[in-house]
Amino acid sequence: MELLSGADMLIRSLQDEGIEYIYGYPGGAALHIYDALFRQDKVKHILVRHEQAAVHMADGYARATGKPGTVLVTSGPGATNTITGIATAFMDSIPMVVLCGQVASTLIGEDAFQETDMIGVSRPVVKHNLSVRHPEEIPEVIRKAYYIASTGRPGPVVVDIPKDMTTPNERFEYAFPKKVKLRSYNPAIRGHAGQIKKAVDMLLAARRPIIYAGGGVILGKASDQLTELVRMLGYPITNTLMGIGCYPATDKQHLGWLGMHGTYESNMAMHHSDLILCVGARFDDRVTNATEKFCPGARIVHIDIDPASISKTIDADVPIVGPVDAVLKEMIALVRESKARPDAEALSAWWKQIEEWRAFHGMRYENNPEVIKPQEVIETLWRLTNGDAFVASDVGQHQMFAAQYYKFDKPNRWINSGGLGTMGFGLPAAMGVKLTHPDDEVLCVTGEGSIQMNIQELSTCKQYNLPVKIINLNNQALGMVKQWQDMNYESRHSQSYMESLPDFIKLAEAYGHVGVRIDRKEDLEPKLKEVLAMKDKLVFVDIYVDRFEHVYPMQVARGSMKDMWLSKTERV
Amino acid sequence: MRRIISVLLENEPGALSRVVGLFSQRNYNIETLTVAPTEDETLSRLTVTTTGSDKVIEQITKQLNKLIEVVKLVDLTEGAHIERELMLVKLKATGSQRAEIKRTVDIFRGQIVDVTSSVYTVQLAGDSDKLDGFIQAVGTSGVLEVVRTGVSGIARGEKVLSL
């Protein structure tokens, strides 16, 4: 057996776990670990400029690759700076392990320098957290952390490592455990056969069915099964913001996404359906609108790996707890075996109705010959990148426009903070994607509010040569806040206007990148082409868009799914 | 509706704070909470009484089950069960009150476990209603101090909460 120090065991465990990248920032309590990192070259460390960005980078990596991300920070402020990132990952069920230094165990509780109770601080926003109590435990703790983070409903796991657990001159026998033993943690590996059968019978008997898919399909790597089932049945499908890409957006059975800023046709189809098959979504308040008015005629089949997601806000008639891929596979087999077929007449009447809704609104906006519309920027990008880019978004109007007008045909390409709505997520997330997808186009769609929340990472981009394209939809205001103020506060724009914006072009140049400003409509396409042609450069594209644009459709507050504003003046 | 949820928890530091944190985080009520190790030293048994609609109780049990350190749990109020709570009460006991208190303690099948010239300390076990009833019977004006353990519970019959 090999004798290793705690710090070396930690790094060796990460190697044995197959970890490629760590995103982090050093500091006192983590220095033994950083020294161990220095003495090897298998695990690569990316030095960010702020710990929050390290977590978002790990998050972007995890969303694009489906593998857990890894973060390493020091105690105290290093650890607390990760909280927003951890909460972001927690809300969207993103697998991640955050390794935090801690003051020596002998000092814990004494208000030592850079001491924070990270186990306590992180507890409400983690799937689990673990602290190392003896250096010998390190391999097992690391193995457990990744196992918990990436199985069942994934989520972030924090590991707190007191400095004396990693002391260089104390060595212990190293053995990486092959298996994890956790008697109290057994995520479901298949759904209940009887419930699945019942669901399939209901599905085949439905007259106005709709499939409502969520981020669980992407996390559960079940896009293929979902697509197969939906095509087999010929039913309409909508998905959540988190589910974007789980089913090809350009397919005719796809109605777009649903909810607050979802398409008219998907919200109408949900409201009027008689059967909703919910796959890996959680009836979030941004989807359901007022729960008591939610889809009055619909029976609900709900597939989810997390039993607590079922009947939390909307009661399920047929709950199925299990991994979505396994459950969908069984459903496909049962549909194949079944003699029952969907009622062709009912289905064609249902599609006719849906097509009428689609024709009535679809996705549209009022163009303007003078001003660049944010929607047309996204449409142009979609065209120029053949719909095949990774798009990491920040939070606000630009996020909604990107989600509405970039048609994703593949999963794992739409990277956004859906649950927590974290401004500042976009750039570091895009960096995490670019690092592992150097040959793919990676766009960061952002606004001048969001981008300034993690702008310092332009420096990290320079250090590691991460040529993402930053698409700044500059409307010179906090657009979504302003939209709500327009709609609900008689246009009193309290603190939603940012005076003295920086010159983003000079700023990008100061960090060693390229800046491009677009403020004339005729320049939009040619300049974007030039930008995309600069393959090896980070380009900050500052695009001056319509300052008065709102995101539509928008569900009417406290209404049902079908109550929407379709423009500033049309309400249905 | 009032429920008694009994939980087998890994006997590890921090496990209790996760349970308590969950209740405050998700806005659930805790009326009483007791926790102590079991015959298996790796496990603690925790009993929590709470109130909420069926939907809330369902969420509480599901969310508790999601905690990695929760090994098993049961909602005792779903079946026949026994619940007990222990109370120690200091009562002002002078003159004619002494005999009266002694009689009330006997009626409630409690014991006087400590005596001074002016104070009785009474020990009483039973379900929460019985303990409330005793306080009412002796009258709050004579009560100097009350300490209650919170509810412990166990299912009747052959049902067992174990690994």
Please report the number of interchain residue pairs, chain A to chain B, with beta-carbon separation below 8 angstroms.
Answer: 33
Which residues on adjacent β-strands are paired with residue A458?
none
Same fold, B2-79 and B82-152: yes
pLDDT band at A362 (very low <50, low <70, confident <90, very high): confident
Q: Phi first, then psi: what are they for A186, rounded to 5°? A: -135, 85
Nearest chain A Cα distance for residue B158, angstroms: 23
Mean pLDDT by 10 residues, chain B (163 residues): 96 94 95 96 97 95 97 96 97 94 97 97 97 95 96 96 91
Q: CA angle at residue A496 from A494 to A497, to 5 degrees?
A: 110
Nearest Cα to A44, choosing from A27, A61, A63, A66? Answer: A61
pLDDT score of B1: 86
Report B:91-150 residues touching A (Cβ under 8 A). Answer: none
For residue B130, what pLDDT is reported?
A: 97
Task: Give just the sign of the alpha carbon dihedral A70, A75, A77, A79.
Answer: positive
> How far apart are the C-alpha atoms of A403 and A393, rounded to whole Å?
9
Distance from CA of B42 to the nearest CA of A (A): 12
In chain A, which residues have their Cβ closer than 8 Å to the Cβ of B63?
A: 308
Q: Which of A49, A100, A97 is nearest to A78 (CA)?
A: A100
Q: What is the pLDDT of residues A444-492, one digit of tens each?
A: 999 999 999 999 999 999 999 999 999 999 999 999 999 999 999 999 9
Q: What fold, for B2-79? A: Alpha-Beta Plaits (3.30.70)
- The CA distances from residue B13 to A109, A160, A180, B16, B44, in Å, are 14, 13, 20, 7, 11
CB atoms within 10 A of CB A12: 21
Domains of chain A, earliest start first:
2-174 (3.40.50.970), 193-360 (3.40.50.1220), 374-551 (3.40.50.970)
Determine which helix (DSSP H) or strand (DSSP E) holds A10, and give its type and residue range.
helix A6-17
Q: Give domain limits for chain B.
A: 2-79, 82-152
Q: Residue A503 above 80 pLDDT? A: yes
Contacts of B59 in chain A (CB under 8 A): 308, 312
Nearest to B18 among A123, A306, A308 (CB): A123
CB atoms B63 and A185 under 8 Å = no
A45 SS3 class = strand
Question: How is residue B67 annotated by DSSP?
Answer: S
- B26, B55, B59, B66: best mutation site toward chain A, by most A Cβ within 10 Å? B66
Return the closest-CA partner of residue A125 out of A154, A84, A77, A153: A84
CA angle B5, B7, B13 (to 5 degrees): 135
For position A498, what pLDDT does the model report?
Answer: 78
Interface test with A, best of B18, B28, B54 (most A CBs within 10 A): B18
The span from the first CA to the last CA of chain A, in angstroms, equals 71
Name, in order, each residue with C-beta under 8 angstroms of B55's C-beta and a sequence gap of 6 or more. Answer: A311
Contact B161, B72 (CB under 8 A): yes
Q: Which of B10, B14, B25 sits opposite A124 (nearest CB)?
A: B25
Can you list the pairs that A139-145 forms with residues at least 24 positions away whose Cβ atoms lie under 8 Å? A139/A9, A139/A12, A139/A13, A139/A16, A139/A174, A139/A175, A139/A176, A139/A177, A140/A177, A142/A10, A142/A13, A142/A14, A142/A17, A142/A97, A143/A13, A143/A17, A143/A176, A143/A177, A143/A180, A144/A180, A144/A182, A145/A97
> Active-site residue among A2, A40, A113, A570?
A113
Task: Give CA separation, A145 vs A69, A157, A175, A508, in Å.
Answer: 12, 6, 16, 38
Q: Provide the pLDDT for residue B163.
A: 87
- Using the Cβ of A185 and the Cβ atoms of chain B, whether some distance falls under 8 Å is answered with yes
Q: How confident is the model at residue A183 (pLDDT cuts 50, 70, 90)?
A: very high
Cα–Cα distance, A326 to B87 (Å, whole number): 52
Whether pLDDT at A1 is above 90:
no
Q: At what angle do helices A83-91 and A51-65 cross, to 10 degrees?
A: 20
pLDDT digit string (tens) for A62-113? 999 999 999 999 999 999 999 999 999 999 999 999 999 999 999 999 999 9
Select from B66, B56, B63 the least CA-distant residue to B29.
B56
CA dist., res. A473 & res. B36, Å (int):
58
Q: pLDDT (tens digit, 9 = 90+) per residue, A202-230?
A: 999 999 999 999 999 999 999 999 999 99
Mutation for B interface: A184, A309, A310, most B CBs within 10 A: A184
Would residue A163 show up in a list of annotated catalytic residues for this protein?
Answer: yes
Give mean pLDDT, residues A501-527: 97
Q: What is the pTM of this model?
A: 0.96
Please write down the HEC assignment for all residues of A57-74: HHHHHHHHHCCCEEEEEC
Give the CATH fold of the B82-152 domain.
Alpha-Beta Plaits (3.30.70)
Q: Tens digits of per-residue pLDDT, A291-348?
A: 999 999 999 999 999 999 999 999 999 999 999 999 999 999 999 999 999 999 999 9
Q: By percentage, how much of chain A surpasses pLDDT 90?
A: 98
DSSP A184: T
Rg of chain B (C-alpha set) = 18
The one-letter amino acid at A360: F
Q: How far apart are CA A314 and CA A63, in angstroms?
A: 27
pLDDT band at A499 (very low <50, low <70, confident <90, very high): confident
What's the helix, strand, coil split of chain A in %, to 5?
A: 40, 15, 40
Nearest-angstrom CA–CA distance, A446 and A469: 10
Helices (DSSP H) in A412-499: which residue ranges? 426-436, 458-464, 479-488
C-alpha distances in angstroms, A501 versus A271, A448, A474, A538?
43, 8, 10, 20
pLDDT tier at A363 (50, 70, 90 boundaries)? confident
Give the residue from B99, B74, B87 showing the smallest Cα distance to B153.
B74
What is the per-residue pLDDT across A146-182, written as a single tens digit (0 to 9) for each? 999 999 999 999 999 999 999 999 999 999 999 998 9
Instruction: Tell which residue, A429, A510, A432, A427, has the closest CA to residue A471.
Output: A427
Rounded CA-CA distance A234/A456 in Å is 48
Beta strands B2-10 and B70-75 are: antiparallel
